[in-house]
Structure 1
Amino acid sequence: MVEMLAVVGQQACDVRFYDAGSYELVGKVDVPPQPHEAAYDSKRRLVYVSHTYDSGWYFEHPAKGHLVSVIDVDTRVVVRTIDLAPENGPHDLRLDDANDVLYVSVEATATEPGALLAVDPDTGEVRRRIAAEAPGPHWFAMTADGRRAYTSNKEAPFLSVVDIEDGRMAGRVEVPGSEGIAFAGGKVFVAAPVLAPGPSRGETGLRVIDTATDEIVGTVWTEHRISAVHATAGGLVLAAEMRAEWTEGDITHQNGLLHVYDAATVEEIATVPIGTGVLTIRSTSDGATAYVANAFTGTVTVIDLRAFEAVHTIEAGAGAHGLAWIPAVTG
């Protein structure tokens, strides 16, 4: 099987699989409404896709979703669905390969705050619920040893520090609402403030947190708000600047910028033009190529991380959101 890229279409309600070498479409899977993020399970050759809302978006939706679709990447069919109810609003997903656990962030219920769920990948059973003590934990990052996680909370003025081993919230890091988040080199990089209608709720940029102390040790300022953040295997941190102007309920978008930083020094290496409405960034296991999902243009920008330039644009359908890079099968 060839190396592939799975692209989640939030408005198209599908997951499209592309040959990562030729960028040709090799399969399309229809899924329930509002698919958001995706995670690849290398052990089972499956992709998990979260369904966050029945329609709308974070600040405007009539009802929250509670499903995770499970797709076989080789046959390109939905093999089962994990129903997380009464949990709702599942968004980000991560596989802890060492412990064979699927972690899913969920929003608050009527009686419980938002949380991280530890899910059995085979049965779909929720093994543990670890409260993040915030209404809307969306994206999250895990330390390399898998012992702690940091959830970015859109509405709450802090990141939640979650002790996965003890199954409890271990602390808070104050930030003015937050978006994309990534872990690299003993640091957490988080976008703040939140992408919400109206004026910015604080100075825009990327906060850098030392995970040894859980303190902010630096900030990289940007002109506009940052949406997605991703760390590569090559020691880079990629942050998408969503260039937009909010005026009296209306929003005007320009093409965004991908900022490339050295994870060790936090120095900017390059900027690369991208599309509009970036919500997800992923990269290959060798750190040579990045994929940027542009939700508003329905495209994925393919970026060469050695030359720091866009080399291709994939026409991916309405609302390109979640991404999963799937390595080729060898032997």
Structure 2
Amino acid sequence: MSGTLAVVSQSCSSISFFDLQSSERTAYLTDLIPEPHEILFDSKRNVMYCSHAYHHGHFWSHGDNGHQISVIDPNKKEVVDIIETRPALGPHGLVLDAKQDILWCSYEEHESSSSGGVIGIDPNTRKVIKQVESSTKTHWFVVTPDGKKAFTCNKTAPFISVLDLENQRMIGKIESPGGTEECSISLDGKYAYFPTPGTQFGKIPESPQVLVIDTAMDKIVARIALQSGALSTYVAGDGKILVGEYRYVNGLAAKGQLSVYDSKTNKLVGATDIGKMPLTLRASPDGKLGFTANIFEGSVSVVDMSTMEVTKTLVVDTERSKVSNICQGAHGMVYFPRD
């Protein structure tokens, strides 16, 4: 097992870099703008982007919305620039459209309205050049490989927004009465995967499932039934669908589960216990390694996808946030294969 994993800690406003062979933290970037959430690697420019959603807190309870994205040199381990997203507020999800060379970022509100949406940023000038409203707060989203459409996770809203990115307008809604969580898209872009219902702390959801959306027809074409509620999905480099399921026992968060599904049949092919509240999922490009950021434990479970065994647990940050009084110690992740 080789490579480096960069992991965000919301509680400590930091990014840790782990050597996956030794499990050692080899670098620690601190004093970031408060509430770093997601990170994304831009290989063309050799930089990472890190969104800062709130001044403190979390989706359910937070201070003022953030309005910045840090640009980070992963070699020097330092912030080299700041992208201003205002008037878009509460930046969160990040998607790089390499074909159109646009960095897309979701946002929760706008200075002129309560509607969220996505903004398009020129990675060269680092200026906002596009904006598409979703009619509600938007947290995560996916973009089709041709860069023409986006489907947004609106957390508590009873619908998924369908956005025309070329003409910068919302073109439809897909009903999801219980809300949705972190979405993903198939490698060929034909299907998008949205866990539902949305998460409510301390509660066990009814009929948890993953909605499978045909991105050409903008409609639900299948439903994957889950054992527990899910916070996240991710499509690995081999096409398998990863689902991060959470569990509650007597109102308290318990060990979660990483479930893996075949994308052709939507059938379960493997599962393993992981840490509490797997908020973010990632995988190595070849699909051999899976990573789950267990935010309530401040740890990352490293999973051998061939055996479905947790081979390592990386401790990121176990401290409780001084504001929320919960551990928000592991969220966004980027995997760097060893050269």
- Normalised to the residue count of structure 1, the TM-score between the two structures is 0.93
Q: For residue 32 of structure 1, report the CA deviation from its aligned partner.
A: 1.4
Q: For residue 110 of structure 1, report the CA deviation from its aligned partner.
A: 4.6
Aligned residue identity for 1:115: G
Match for 1:118 among 117, 120, 129? 120
Question: Is the CA contact (8 Å cut-off) linking 2:202 and 2:253 kept in structure 1?
Answer: no
Query: SS of 2:21's equivalent?
Result: coil
Q: For residue 200 of structure 1, report the CA deviation from its aligned partner.
A: 6.0
Identify unmatched segments of 5+ residues in structure 1: none
Match for 1:190 among 194, 199, 204? 194
Provide the C-alpha distance between the structure 2 equivalents of 1:294 and 1:224, rounded to a whole number of angstroms: 16
Provide the C-alpha distance between the structure 1 equivalents of 2:9 and 2:132, rounded to a whole number of angstroms: 29
User: Which residue is 1:320 aligned to?
Assistant: 330
User: Which residue is 1:140 aligned to?
Assistant: 141
Aligned residue identity for 1:17: F
Provide the C-alpha distance between the structure 1 equivalents of 2:127 and 2:215, rounded to a whole number of angstroms: 30
Q: Aligned-pair RMSD on alpha carbons?
A: 1.7
Aligned residue identity for 1:103: W
Aligned residue identity for 2:332: G
User: Which residue is 2:323 aligned to?
Assistant: none
Deviation sequence 1:196-226 (CA, Å, 0-9, x none): 2465675311111122222212212224310
Q: For residue 43 of structure 1, report the CA deviation from its aligned partner.
A: 0.9
Provide the C-alpha distance between the structure 2 equivalents of 1:18 and 1:40, rounded to a whole number of angstroms: 16
Aligned residue pairs, count: 323
User: Which residue is 1:290 aligned to?
Assistant: 290
Structure 1 window deviating more from structure 2 (254-263 vs 91-100): it is: 91-100
Provide the C-alpha distance between the structure 2 equivalents of 1:327 and 1:116, rounded to a whole number of angstroms: 29
Identify unmatched segments of 5+ residues in structure 2: 319-328
Query: SS of 1:254's equivalent?
Result: strand
Question: Is the CA contact (8 Å cut-off) linking 1:117 and 1:129 kept in structure 2?
Answer: yes
Question: Is the CA contact (8 Å cut-off) linking 1:224 and 1:244 kept in structure 2?
Answer: no
Provide the C-alpha distance between the structure 2 equivalents of 1:193 and 1:151, rounded to a whole number of angstroms: 15
Q: For residue 144 of structure 1, report the CA deviation from its aligned partner.
A: 2.3
Match for 2:231 among 189, 204, 227? 227
Query: SS of 1:216's equivalent?
Result: strand
Provide the C-alpha distance between the structure 2 equivalents of 1:203 and 1:294, rounded to a whole number of angstroms: 23
- Normalised to the residue count of structure 2, the TM-score between the two structures is 0.91
Provide the C-alpha distance between the structure 2 equivalents of 1:85 and 1:119, rounded to a whole number of angstroms: 12
Deviation sequence 1:18-49 (CA, Å, 0-9, x none): 12333321211111111111101111111111
Query: SS of 1:229's equivalent?
Result: strand
Q: For residue 65 of structure 1, report the CA deviation from its aligned partner.
A: 1.0
Q: For residue 80 of structure 1, report the CA deviation from its aligned partner.
A: 1.2
Provide the C-alpha distance between the structure 1 equivalents of 2:278 and 2:51, rounded to a whole number of angstroms: 18
